[in-house]
Amino acid sequence: MSLRASVTSALFFDSVRVPDSQRLPNVKGLKGPLGCLSQARYGITWGPIGAAIASYTSALEYSKERILFGRPIAATQAVQLKLADMARRITLAQLLSLQLGRLKDAGTLQHSQVSLAKWNNCRMALDISREARDILGGAGITTEHPPIRHALNLESVITYEGTETVHQLVIGREVTGINAF
Ligand SMILES: Cc1cc2nc3c(=O)[nH]c(=O)nc-3n(C[C@H](O)[C@H](O)[C@H](O)COP(=O)(O)OP(=O)(O)OC[C@H]3O[C@@H](n4cnc5c(N)ncnc54)[C@H](O)[C@@H]3O)c2cc1C
């Protein structure tokens, strides 16, 4: 039901022996693999922003064309508040990823900062795609408009590379100093 443009399957590795020649070079323990995850998750913080912008744009355009009771639904305060709030949340996510990129360039990026951004940006985009689908009314459940596709795809993005809950627990550990996993 999600990310249907790519082949997704469960892979099981039973009794697999990995030869020494395939070891990650110059790393000990989980530090190497976890370091790779931080890099991938940084990239993932940007992807949902695009999905959110596409959903927001689709809802914005539709709201200006959809006439109800003699005026476009974009002329109602309820729809404008939703659109304004989407623009606010998208802008904040963009600034968050931009700052992460700056920290990455400076070599000072912390994995917990990546967790916070992955959590924030996926949640932001999932919420916005669902709200955009709502602004589209019944038309929003068709493939003619992108928000429902983005919402379904974002269910994967908020799950892979660490679920939302797991990233929340990373931040919980960071602020309390207590590991609750
Ligand atoms: C489309 C897609 C592509 C993927 N691609 C890859 C890939 O290329 N490579 C790869 O290795 N994996 C991949 N995954 C797997 C993905 O990383 C896992 O699905 C994800 O990490 C969650 O693990 P899980 O499915 O085992 O869920 P579980 O770990 O079983 O989690 C189930 C639920 O329990 C919660 N939970 C887990 N632990 C705790 C805890 N300590 N405290 C509280 N709640 C907890 C979770 O947040 C979740 O809500 C992919 C998944 C999807 C959906």
How is 26-84 classified by DSSP, letter by letter?
Answer: T--TTHHHHHHHHHHHHHHHHHHHHHHHHHHHHHHHHHHH-EETTEEGGGSHHHHHHHH
The enclosing domain of 157 has a CATH number of 1.20.140.10
Is residue 90, in this structure, part of any structural domain at all? yes
Residue 181 in any domain: the answer is no
Residue of 144, 155, 161, 174 marked catalytic? 161
174 is an active site residue: no
Phi and psi for 90 in degrees, rounded to 5?
-65, -45
Question: Does residue 161 lie in a domain region?
Answer: yes
Prediction pTM value? 0.94
- Ligand 1 pocket, residue 168 CB under 6 Å: no
Q: What is the pLDDT of residue 141?
A: 97
Taking only the tens of pLDDT, the chain with its 181 residues reads 999 999 988 999 999 998 999 988 888 888 888 888 889 999 999 999 999 999 999 999 999 999 999 999 999 999 999 999 999 999 999 999 999 999 999 999 999 999 999 999 999 999 999 999 999 999 999 999 999 999 999 999 999 999 999 999 999 999 999 999 9
Q: How many domains does the chain have?
A: 1
Q: Does the beta carbon of 165 lie inside 6 Å of ligand 1?
A: yes
Enclosing domain of residue 122: 39-176
